[in-house]
Amino acid sequence: MNDQLLLGWVIAASIGLQLWVMFAVGNARRKTGVKAPATTGHVDFERAFRTQMNTVEQALMFYPALWLCSSYFSIRWAWTLGALWVLGRVVYALGYLAAADKRGVGFMVGFLAQSLLLALGVWGLLTR
What amino acid positions are annotated as catalytic residues? 30, 103
Radius of gyration, alpha carbons of the chain: 16
Least Cα distance to 89 among 43, 45, 40, 53 occurs for: 53
Half-sphere exposure of 52 (CA within 13 A, CB side): 19
> Which amino acid is located at 76 in the chain?
R
CA–CA distance, 30 with 90 (Å, rounded to integer): 22
